[in-house]
Chains A and B, each alone.
Chain A
Amino acid sequence: MIKQISVFMENKPGRLLEVTKLLASNKVNIRTLSLADTAEFGIARLIVDYPDAVVEILKNNRFTARITPVLAVEVSDESGGLARVLEVFLESGINVEYMYGFVEKRHPDKALLVFKVEDPARAKDQLVAKGLTVVSEKDILS
């Protein structure tokens, strides 16, 4: 399981810019970012190095931020990669709340798929049992 940072933002111009500027001034590299948005608010989901420290920086600067445990699955960056994972979830009755994917510079032939599921521990067991690679924090974060 890895730590994702979630930031709640009211829909106001420049709000995301403020977050990214703050992170830049603290030399935080955003490995990936995904946005969920509604008419009223948005939720930014970030994968960064040193997530515990970064969430403190955000909170100290009055951002509404928290750590959310998510599951990161490594698949080959080729067709059918995501489908294999979702099949496992379907078979074991695991609901995906949301997901996004990104490609890592270090392993350009691999894609990392990030999943928020209700019971990440059980989901991990199911994936491993089916021969899939669930990465841990130390595999991808500094």
Chain B
Amino acid sequence: MWNKNVETISVSKLRSQQTDALKALVNLVYNVPFYKNKMDEMKVKPSDINSIEDITKLPFTTKNDMRDVYPWGLCACEKDEIVEVHMSSGTTGTPIVDAYTLNDIEIWSEVMARTLSMGGVTKSDIVQNAYGYGLFTGGFGVHYGARKIGCLTLPISGGNTQRQLQVMKDFGSTVLACTPSYSLYVAEAGREMGLDFSKMPLKAGFFGAEAWSETMREEIESKLHLKAYDIYGLTEIIGPGVAAECECQKGLHVFEDHFYPEIINPETGELLPDGEKGELVFTTLTKTGTPILRYRTRDITYIFKEPCECGRTHRRIHRLLGRTDDMLIIRGVNIFPSQIENVLLKQKGIEPHYLLIIDRVNNLDCLEVHVEMSDDLGFDEVKVVEKIEATIEHALHNELLIFAKVKLVEPKSIQRSEGKAKRVVDNRKI
């Protein structure tokens, strides 16, 4: 265990620590106009918060809230204390921002060191970090954790599979970190290159940022000859390192000294007892850059009631069971149909009737956007149609940061529905 004292702390001590942290947090965020307004509206003062249970008196924060106050509206410290920012997409194109102080980066390193240690990673390991480095949190999160442990980190980032395999072979990587679907792609490409993974030193893989299943875990483990661990995180909270699987692999331990989990009824916002399924909500207890009160993740899961056999006392969440909104995760990137709609609305020659078709081809997610051409489009020349498709593909790539194939279809050919339009066909078998 990376930090045994903290990870196996008694539940009563943990709760009392969380109480102290929550009180400090409320005092801190009451200086941020965004939170002060929300708390004033609910007539709750920092002095009303006297125990961790009082958290339910505090307002929720949503992705839209975070988008509305882009870029600095949630910053709770002097701006020159911020040393790094990461972003992910909002629902309509405006990103949401996580700004980190030096201490926040230290917290991130700590929780990621715990995450990797849960999978047996030590100082002597060689970590091939194939998560994207950049505004996306995946690359840096794993990097900080591995550095904290003292591993040799290969910051190879995503893509360029041939080079991934070459580096893996030449340096003898023992740990692979990437999205689960990409790991299967790597396995496939390695097999074609004639690599025998059973003879390679890979021992553990840390996979997250998209939905996967036990079936996929078995497939990854048998193809890559490693033990596959599920990790969970989100940019709004810190990035990866919010929760992770231990050696028992029965749910993901939430690092509760930093992130307080709740499960609520998504309809009423009411707190549900451990064991009941609902929407996962997180409060960052210790971050000071952009601390977040009760963030509604829209992820559906439940908290295990019973303690874990590994001895850690931090509660576990079940692998995600779904979402309460229409967010899609494609190649690890969060995408909302509304983002695509907004791009389409700005284009010429088409109507905003569209269908998103998602499939997994050779273990990689593919997004195809079918959109109806306008009635009056001069489609008579092939190049007219292809030019519109290319223009939209370019605009979508700018917005989504992944490639989506655009296909113009005949006017009125996409089925109209009377209620909520069915805009997404997800053919992935996960």
Contact = CB atoms under 8 A, between A and B. Distances in A.
A8 B410 contact: yes
B407 interface: yes
Contact of B408 (A41, A62, A98, A116): A41
Contacts of B411: 64
B412 A68 contact: no
B382 A38 contact: yes
B61 to A, nearest CB: 43
Interface of A: 6, 8-10, 36, 38, 40-41, 43, 45, 62-64, 66, 68, 97-98, 116
Name the 4 nearest CB pairs between A and B, nearest first. Answer: A6-B380, A64-B410, A68-B380, A8-B379
Interface string B373-393: 100001111100110000000
A8 B373 contact: yes
Contacts of B373: 8, 64
A98 B412 contact: no
10 contacts: A6-B380, A8-B379, A8-B385, A36-B381, A43-B379, A62-B412, A63-B410, A64-B411, A66-B380, A68-B378
B382 A6 contact: no
Contacts of B386: 38
B7 to A, nearest CB: 54
Contacts of B413: 10
A66 to B, nearest CB: 7
B67 to A, nearest CB: 35
Nearest to A41: B385
Q: Mostly helix, strand, loop or mixed at chain A's interface? A: strand
A66 B384 CA distance: 15
B409 interface: yes
Nearest to B381: A97
A6 B409 contact: no
Contact of A116 (B381, B409, B412): B381
Contacts of B381: 36, 43, 97-98, 116
Nearest to B372: A64
A43 B410 contact: no
Contacts of B378: 66, 68
Given A8-B373, A64-B411, 9 more contacts: A6-B379, A36-B382, A38-B386, A41-B385, A43-B380, A43-B381, A45-B380, A64-B373, A64-B379
A28 B12 CA distance: 86
Contacts of B382: 36, 38, 43
